Structure formats: C-alpha cells, structure tokens
Amino acid sequence: MGVRIAVLSGPEQGRSQTFRDGTFTIGTSENCDFRLASPTPSAPEISITFYQREDGWYAKTAGTGTLINSTPASETNRVRSGDVFRLSQNGPAFAFHLDTRKHPGVLVPGSPPSISESSVPPGQVDELVTQPDFSRVRWASLALAAGICLLAIGIIVYALRPDTPKFNDVAVSKSVPADAQPARESDTKQRQADLVESAPLQANPSIQEGSESTDLESETDPVPDQANSEVDDEAAEAATEVDPWHRALEILRPSIYLLAVEQPKTGSTWPVATATAIHSNMLLTSGSAVSELAKMRDQGWTLWAINESSQTKLKITSLRQHLGFSKSNSEPERRIYFDLGLVQVEGMLPAHAELASREELTGVEQGMPLGCVGIMREIELLNRFDSNEPELQLGKVFIVTALPPAPGPRLAHFRAALPHKPYGSPLVDSAGKIYTVSAESAVMPEETGAGLNLHYAPILDRDILDAGLEPSGGNVWIDLLPSKP
C-alpha cells in the first residue's frame, strides 16, 4: 500500500505523486522529496515528514503555520486518508490519500490470473510472460497422437470387415454393389462407441456420439472467444454506464461562469467567485460575491463573467443583492440565510441551468446528496495557463435549519471536502438542478474535531428569485450597481 499526494492549490495544483517507501518529506525546502512552491518569496521554509508505524501513518512538522483540515498542526500528528494539509494560511495545500490500488498482474499462460509483479522475483517477469507451459503442450501432444491412433485403428477395423468392399473392386465397378454402401448411421454410432471403450487413452472430447465428423482438434486450441467475448461484453456494458454526477457536470458546464475583475490600467484580471446562468442575461451567485464586485466597480475596475468552455466573456452591467442580506450586517448568524446575489450581463447568455421546482426545494433534508459545482481556485492573478473549467465535489446535507416564524428562510449545512472557498457555487442534484448556493465555510471549534468540512448554503425560494428577474426587483432585491437606462 502506497501514499498518493495530490496538490490542491498553488502553482503545482493538479500535480500528484505516489510514494511506496515508509518515509518521505513534503514542503518548500530544497531537500524535500516532494517540493512545493512557497506562497511568498519571504515565507519561511516548511516541511512535513510522513512516516509509518504499526498503528498507521504520522506526520511530523518542521516550521510554523501548518494546518491539517483547517486546524493548526502539532509537532507530531496522526494522519488519516483524505486529510488536507495547508503549509500556511495562503497555501499551498495538498491531500493525503492511502493508495489501495493493486499493481497490474502478470498473467502466466496456464496459471490463474492471481500472480502479480509483486510476487515475481526481479528479472523474471519477461521470462514468465514468454515461457510456454510445457506440461500443457505435452498432454496436448499425447491426446493428438492418441486420436490419430484411434482413427487409424478405426480405418483398419472397418476395412477388415467381411462386408466391406475392396477399393479396387469399387474402382472398376460402374455401380457400387448394395452390400458395399457406407455403413448406416446406427452402425457408425456403434463403432465409435466400441472405439472409445477400447481406447487406452481418452480421445479428444470433441468427437461425440452421433457426430459425423472425425476431425481431431488439439487441446491447445481453446474455445476461441467465449471468455474474451464475456470480458468484451462487460467492458462495453461498463462503458455505457455514465456516472450521473459526471453527466450533471457536463450539463451545467456551459452555464457556470467565473466572476472576475480587471484592473483598467494594467489589464490584470483577478477571480472573485462562481456564478450560474439562470436566465437569458442573469447569473445567480452569493450576496457576499456581489458586495465584493460592487466595491471593485466603485474603484474603477471592470467586471466580467467568463465561461471557458464556450469561450464567452460578457461585461457585468448590474448587481443585485437580497434585501435581507443588506439589513442583517450586524447579525451574521441571520445574514447567512439571505446570502444570495444576482448578476446581470451585457448581451445574451448562450445557455442557462435549471432550478429545482418548489416541491423539490421543499424536500431538501438531512442526508440528501448534493454536488457543489464551481470553479475551485484561489484568489490569484489569472493567466493564460490557468484552467477555469468547473469541478464537481460530492457531499451531503448535514442538517437544515430555518429562521422563525415558519416557514422562514432555510439554510443547508453542506458537508463536503472542498479544496477552496466555493463562493457562489451552485449545489445541485444528480440531474443538474440547482437547490442552493454556497455562501461561507463554517469555522468549527477545535473540540468538534477536524475534518468536518461544513459549508453554509441558503436554500432557494422560487418566488424570491422570480422577483429578482423583474425590472423592479419586487421590493426583495436592492441594486448595488443599477443597470444604465
């Protein structure tokens, strides 16, 4: 069993490596087995040494600021598969996974397919693959020889019967005498039965009772494609089974946008949040993201909505925020229930996602599986090498709470291991329907345990969303950046 390290953030994001040795080091210092870039040039060097004991894996940290599942690390830490390490508050981050996958097997002819490379001494793999099974060949040769002998005996016995015509007699006759006709089917069956019973070795089983063919086939020729056809059928069946969550991601891909801001003087562009097209010119995101966009717009920055898959880049012309979010500035525990925002763009959106129905939204409950679809990236300068394609992270509803009086605004506490802050990312079902929007991540007290990975997401209200699509906002939405007449 090895360990697979997957980088979740920083310049090496997407890079992974598997370690088979019992001890290895990851960090920003030059002597690390897996070196990561420092978040800033002045950042101190940090390294983490992973080692294995009888009771599991451990990590020993060198340097300060390391976080494990958002909790400050101690000098020695017990490690579990799926733990997320962050070398500092600014990253980089990576995930620790136990790699339980088996190594590819080396199939030896004539032996069961359980022999693997790990059980073959070094230097003998090629020999095992190419070496024939001499015992199988020997028995096949004996069976073939026995079959030929039986055939010869049969011909001799048949020729010596008194009622069997001589070949020269048949050749000179214009017509074959009646007593020289080929043996009847019943006689043939009896002779074949006699031959099988008197044979010292068993003949090829392909010669069956009642068969008119006496061709012998070697045991080395297996039934041609029965096993292979079964494997091919299973592979074809597996290929046709598409993961519904993957299908949901593909459905949503044209509708997921990166909200970004551009500095007019330098042209540098920075990401802010994720948004989803829900109308011909309207995107759904979080209220917090809309606030940030409004601040940057006031400073003269240009606001953009970017979809990489369709190569769409549209200028943002209007920003709306839920009225309850604006009124609850001093009550953060209430404000999170209204953390919704709408973004209007200049031009038409080529595709938009489907919202869950009122009945489906009412059915959101504890344990419900949902996928968070977003452009998971850190707040760092965009460049042409970056991929801004959306990703889907699967999780489930941990609990649902509501503000009084009933039926008040509802909040889904969503549990999932997300690599980055998923501001504005939609939470969807396996059909790609949107139920809620990711707002903030929970900061859990240390005694609750690391790795809970809770995120707050206000559940959508179709009536409120419909009002937001109206020109006036229905007295539920306020304009932070009114569209120009």
The tokens for 429 are 């079902």
| Contact assessment for residue 388 and residue 430, using Cβ atoms and an 8 Å cutoff | no
How would you class 337 by CB atoms within 10 Å of its CB: exposed for 0-12, middle for 13-18, buried for 19 or more?
buried
Integer Cα distance of 372 and 438 in angstroms: 8
| Contact assessment for residue 106 and residue 95, using Cβ atoms and an 8 Å cutoff | no
pLDDT at 248 > cutoff 60: yes
Q: How many residues does the chain have?
A: 485
H or E element at residue 258: strand 256-262
CA-based end-to-end distance of the chain: 64
Q: What is the DSSP letter of 165?
A: P
Fold entry, domain 247-481: Thrombin, subunit H (2.40.10)
pLDDT at site 137: 47
* 3-class DSSP state of 7: strand
| Contact assessment for residue 79 and residue 58, using Cβ atoms and an 8 Å cutoff | yes
The DSSP code sequence of 71-130 is EE--SEEEE-TT-EEESSTT--EEEEEEE-PPPPB-PPTTS-TT-BGGGS-TT-HHHHHH
pLDDT at 208 > cutoff 50: no
Q: What is the percent of the chain with per-residue pLDDT over 70, rounded to a whole number?
A: 68
Largest CA distance in the chain: 120
394-401 LR contacts (CB < 8 Å, sep 24+):
394/245, 394/369, 394/370, 395/369, 395/370, 395/371, 395/453, 396/367, 396/368, 396/369, 396/370, 397/364, 397/365, 397/366, 397/367, 397/368, 397/370, 398/366, 398/454, 399/366, 400/364, 400/365, 400/366, 400/459
CATH number of 2-99: 2.60.200.20
Integer Cα distance of 424 and 271 in angstroms: 12
Q: Amino acid identity, residue 177?
A: P
CA 74, 77, 82, 87 torsion-angle sign: positive
Give the model confidence (pLDDT) of 165-193 as tens digits. 443 433 333 333 333 344 444 444 444 44
CA dihedral 304, 307, 311, 317 (to 10 degrees): -30
If we measure between CA atoms, which residue out of 127, 135, 136, 93 comes closest to residue 108? 127
CA-to-CA dists, residue 82 to 70, 394, 444, 449, 453, angstroms = 13, 14, 18, 14, 12
Give the model confidence (pLDDT) of 283-309 as tens digits. 999 999 999 999 999 999 999 999 988
Average pLDDT over residues 32-36: 91
| Contact assessment for residue 323 and residue 341, using Cβ atoms and an 8 Å cutoff | no
pLDDT at site 138: 56
The tokens for 238 are 């597996």
Integer Cα distance of 195 and 234 in angstroms: 43
Q: Where are the domains of the chain?
A: 2-99, 134-198, 247-481
Integer Cα distance of 94 and 4 in angstroms: 10
Give the pLDDT band (50/70/90) at residue 49: very high
Name residues whose C-beta falls within 8 Å of residue 136's C-beta, 6 or more positions apart in sequence: 109, 110, 219, 220
Give the pLDDT band (50/70/90) at residue 111: very low
Integer Cα distance of 160 and 333 in angstroms: 107
pTM: 0.52
Average pLDDT over residues 30-44: 84
Which has the minimum average pLDDT: 18-27, 99-108, 239-248? 99-108
